A = this chain, B = another copy of it.
Amino acid sequence: MPLSPEQQAEIDAQRRQKQQTLRAVAPGMEAHLYTARPVLDHGFVRVIDYMGDDAAICQAARVSYGKGTKSVQNDEGLIRYLMRHWHSTPFEMCEVKFHVKLPVFVARQWIRHRTANVNEYSARYSILDREFYIPAPEHVAAQSEVNNQGRGATLEGEEAARVLDILKSDSARCYDNYQAMIAQDGQQGLARELARMNLPANIYTQWYWKVDLHNLFHFLRLRADVHAQYEIRVYAEAICETVADWVPFAYRAFEDYRMGAVSLSAQMMECTRRMLRGEEVTQETSGLSAREWREFRETLAG
Binding site for B on A (CB under 8 A): 3, 6-7, 10-11, 13-15, 17-25, 30, 33-34, 48-52, 56, 59-61, 63-67, 77, 80-81, 84, 86, 89-90, 92-93, 95, 97, 99, 103-105, 108, 111-112, 114-115, 117-122, 124-125, 133, 135, 139-144, 148-153, 155, 159, 162-163, 166-167, 170, 173-174, 177, 180-182, 184, 187-194, 196-202, 206-208, 210, 212, 222, 229, 255-257, 259-270, 272-273, 275-276, 289, 291-292, 295, 299-300, 302
Report how far A95 CA is from B227 CA in the complex, Å.
29
Report how far A212 CA is from B199 CA in the complex, Å.
33
A269 contacts B261, C-beta separation under 8 Å: yes
Q: Which residue on B lies nearest to A36, using beta carbons?
A: B65
Q: How far is the CB of A217 from chain B (nearest CB, A)?
A: 14
Contact of A103 among B197, B229, B259 (CB under 8 A): B197
Contact of A23 among B50, B202, B275, B292 (CB under 8 A): B50
User: How many monomers of this protein are in the complex?
Assistant: 4
- Beyond the given pairs A19-B25, A84-B292, 4 more chain A to chain B contacts, judged by CB atoms under 8 angstroms and listed by A's residue number, are A6-B65, A104-B108, A174-B174, A256-B265
Contact of A148 among B125, B200, B256 (CB under 8 A): B125
27 A-B pairs with C-beta separation under 8 A? A10-B65, A10-B66, A10-B67, A11-B66, A14-B67, A18-B21, A18-B22, A19-B20, A20-B21, A23-B33, A81-B291, A89-B112, A92-B119, A93-B117, A104-B201, A125-B149, A143-B189, A143-B190, A151-B194, A159-B187, A196-B201, A210-B212, A257-B263, A263-B264, A264-B264, A272-B272, A272-B300
Report how far A197 CA is from B102 CA in the complex, Å.
12
> Which 8 pairs across A and B sit closest by C-beta, in order of nearness?
A10-B66, A260-B266, A151-B191, A92-B117, A197-B202, A142-B188, A114-B114, A125-B149
Q: Which residue on B lies nearest to A31, using beta carbons?
A: B22
Contact of A201 among B142, B163, B199, B264 (CB under 8 A): B199
Report how far A150 CA is from B119 CA in the complex, Å.
19
Could you tell me the dominant secondary structure of chain A's interface residues? mixed
Contact of A95 among B188, B210, B229 (CB under 8 A): B210
B15 contacts A18, C-beta separation under 8 Å: no
